[in-house]
Amino acid sequence: MTSIESHTHFSEVYWIEIENGTRRLATKSSFKESFGRSIYGERILQYGLEEYRLWNPFRSKLAAVILNGLKVFPLKPGHKVLYLGAASGTTASHISDIVGKKGHLFCIEVSPRVIRSLISNVSVYRANMSPIMADGRIPEDYISLVEKVDGIYCDIAQPQQARILADNADLFLKIGGWSMLAVKARSIDVTKNSSIIYEQEKETLMNRGFHIEDLVELEPFDKAHAMIMAHK
Across the strands, what pairs with 104? 80
Is the model's pLDDT at 1 over the cut of 70? no
- 1 vs 155, higher pLDDT: 155
Angle at 216 between CA 210 and CA 217, to 5 degrees: 125
pLDDT of residue 147: 96
Helix (H) or strand (E) holding 130: strand 129-133
pTM exceeds 0.85: yes
Predicted pLDDT at 187 = 85
Exposure string of 193-215, with b = 16+ CB inside 10 Å and e = fewer, is ebeebbebbbebbeebebeebeb
Helical packing angle, 161-172 and 194-207, nearest 10° = 30
* Domain annotation for the chain: domains and CATH numbers: 3-54 (3.30.200.20), 61-231 (3.40.50.150)
Tell me, what's the pLDDT at 35?
Answer: 92
Report the distance separating Cα 76 and Cα 232, nearest Å.
17
In tens, the pLDDT along 38-95 reads 999 999 999 888 999 999 999 999 999 999 999 989 999 999 999 999 999 999 999 9
- Give one DSSP letter per residue of 22-65, joined into a string: -EEEEEE---GGGTT--SSS--EEEETTEEEEE--TTT-HHHHH
pLDDT, tens digit (0-9, with 9 covering 90-100), for 138-151: 999 999 999 999 99
How many helices and strands in the chain, by DSSP H and E?
A: 6, 12
Q: Please give the pLDDT value at position 21.
A: 83
What is the predicted pLDDT for the residue at 217? 94
Quote the CA–CA distance of 115 and 136 in Å, as a whole number: 14
Give the model confidence (pLDDT) of 171-193 as tens digits.
Answer: 999 999 999 999 988 888 777 88
Is pLDDT larger for residue 224 or for residue 84?
Answer: 84
